Amino acid sequence: MATGLIALLDDVVAIAKVAAASIDDTAAVAAKAGAKAAGVVIDDAAVTPRYVTGFAAARELPIVAKIARGSLKNKLLYLLPAALVLSEFAPWSITPLLMAGGAYLCFEGAEKLYEVIVPRAAAHADPTAADGRAEDVEKTMVAGAIRTDLILSGEIMAITLAQVADQGFIARVTVLALVGVLITIGVYGAVAVIVKADDAGVVLARSSLAPLRVIGRGLVAGMPGFLKLLAGVGTAAMLWVGGGILLHALEDYGFAAPAHALHEAAVAAGSVGGPVVEWFVGAAGAGIVGVALGAILVAIVSLVHRQH
């Protein structure tokens, strides 16, 4: 898991440990919960840059800031209280909610794969070409990004809650808030760097120093490909996280054979190729489950739309 965004999550976890140094147990749980949500965090960071594509450079950071504020509101004002109520009065609902979120991730990932195979014209539309004022277009895009974030944040908070369901009330509040705030800062800080990297490259390319000019030109030339790679990582993360959530949830309901078989295959591969191979085999297996379930859901949704 040596991607830049997972390294970012490691930094977030490290900050969580420092911030909660006076309550070591809570810090450990927060770190574990943040790591469990890694795939969703990758997807969150991978999805957001597309919402600022096509806008003036001066509006990119303000748009990211608006989405980040909306994300914090999603986590702290809506999802955190809902998670606490569920853990207090309906703890049995956590696993079904995780399964629903996992199924949604599989659906989203499979839909993105389908759009790669069968591109739609709308997928390439310029958001700034829509009718109406630029301010209205920006509001629409920000609102759409915050709605998407609500789903992804809900999954992050549900994964976190599953890790702290047996903790005391104060510990649950602390961990949920800590993970929510730090992941939001980490994700949207990374998004801000990503969307401004090409502008920084233009500035460096005009430098009087040859090494800086080379770096700047590299940034300008490399960012389009990097964004495509990031989108691919986000799609893969949706599928392996969604599939993994469903496999583990099935274990809770007594259907442990699929998860155990995948685990044994990963361990066997790891004994030959090492821990990276073990992780890759496990993630690939969960991703295959995610693709299969997502394809079924995409087919069902398409059939329903055709009938209406």
State pTM to two decimals: 0.69
Residue type, 28: A
CA–CA separation, 270 and 277 (whole Å): 5
- Alpha carbon 100 to its chain centroid, in Å, reads 16
Query: Could you give the CA distance from residue 204 to residue 234 in angstroms, rounded to a whole number?
Result: 29
**CB distance 269 to 281 below 8 Å:** yes
Q: Rounded to whole angstroms, what are the CA distances from 85 to 124, 157, 172, 214? A: 42, 13, 11, 54
* Per-position pLDDT tens, the chain of length 308: 444 444 444 544 444 444 444 344 555 555 555 555 555 666 566 566 666 666 666 777 888 889 899 999 999 999 999 888 888 888 888 888 888 888 988 998 898 888 888 766 444 445 554 445 667 777 888 887 788 788 778 878 877 887 777 778 888 888 888 888 988 888 888 888 888 887 888 888 888 888 888 998 888 888 878 877 877 877 888 888 889 889 988 988 889 999 999 999 999 999 988 888 998 899 899 999 999 999 999 999 988 888 86
